[in-house]
Each structure stands twice: as structure tokens, then as C-alpha cells.
């Protein structure tokens, strides 16, 4: 997705962060969650358990509830780290080699010329 969506569109970090937040919230609601504590699905916390054990039940419930936002937050951190390392790597290469930008600005010729 990074190769086909984020890099070609060249969004800045703030726009990418907002989009990731929106996607995380969308996945939260797509999983059937809402903004009310009364609608938390606790049955997901008991999947695979033979008896009531508090700690695994709480962890499984939290995992099932917040999987979407956490995955999108992890993708955001991964994307921003890869962009920072890519820019650092490019800056070091361009200074060393005297290379031009990989995205040269296109100059339009004036219609008057």
C-alpha cells in the first residue's frame, strides 16, 4: 500500500497521520464497536478459554476491541520511520554524489514564449 498510495500522492506527515487516524477509527466502528462502554463485546475475551480467568479475558477483550486502531497506528509509525530513513539516505547520497532530486520540478514554458 505504501508503494501505490502514500508515496505517489506525496502527502506530508500531518496529512498521513490524520488519514491513518481516520482509518483506525473506521476499523474500530467496522468491527461493531461504538463510543459507549455498554456496547463492548466481552464474549471475544472468552474465546478459547475453558474457565473464567481474569487476565487473559481482559487482554483478549482489549485486543479484539482495539485491533484496528493499533494496527493502523503501527503502520503509521512504520511508514513515517521508512520515509525518514529514505530521506536521510537520499540526502546523504545526493550530498556525496552531487546528484539532483529524484523528483525534478517540471518547468512549464509560458504560452507567450
Look at the block and give the residue holding cell 514554458.
109
CB atoms inside a 10 Å sphere around CB 40:
15
Residues of the chain with pLDDT > 70, as a percent, come to 69
- Smallest CA-to-CA distance from 78 within 11, 4, 23, 1 is with 1
Sign of CA dihedral 15, 21, 24, 26: negative
Packing angle, helices 54-97 and 13-30, rounded to 10: 160
Q: What is the pTM of this model?
A: 0.61
CB 8: neighbour CB atoms within 10 A? 9
pLDDT at residue 16 above 90?
no
* Closest C-alpha among 68, 76, 4 to residue 32: 68
Arithmetic mean of pLDDT over the chain:
77
What's the rounded Cα separation, in Å, for the pair 39 and 105?
52
What pLDDT score does 2 carry?
61
Better-predicted residue by pLDDT, 35 or 104:
35
Q: What percent of the chain has pLDDT over 90?
A: 19
Indicate the pLDDT class of residue 71, thresholds 50, 70 and 90.
very high
Find the range with the poorest average confidence among 25-34, 52-61, 72-81, 91-100: 91-100
Residues in the chain: 113
Average pLDDT for 11-35: 88
Amino acid at each position: 500500500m505504501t508503494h501505490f498510495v502514500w508515496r505517489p500522492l506525496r502527502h506530508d506527515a500531518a496529512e498521513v497521520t490524520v488519514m491513518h487516524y481516520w482509518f483506525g477509527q473506521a476499523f474500530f466502528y467496522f468491527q461493531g464497536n461504538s463510543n459507549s462502554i455498554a456496547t463492548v463485546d466481552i464474549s471475544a475475551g472468552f474465546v478459547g478459554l475453558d474457565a473464567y480467568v481474569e487476565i487473559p479475558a481482559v487482554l483478549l477483550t482489549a485486543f479484539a476491541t482495539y485491533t484496528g486502531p493499533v494496527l493502523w497506528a503501527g503502520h503509521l509509525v512504520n511508514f513515517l520511520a521508512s520515509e525518514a530513513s529514505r530521506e536521510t539516505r537520499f540526502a546523504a547520497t545526493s550530498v556525496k554524489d552531487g546528484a539532483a532530486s529524484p523528483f525534478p520540478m517540471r518547468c512549464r514554458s509560458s504560452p507567450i514564449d
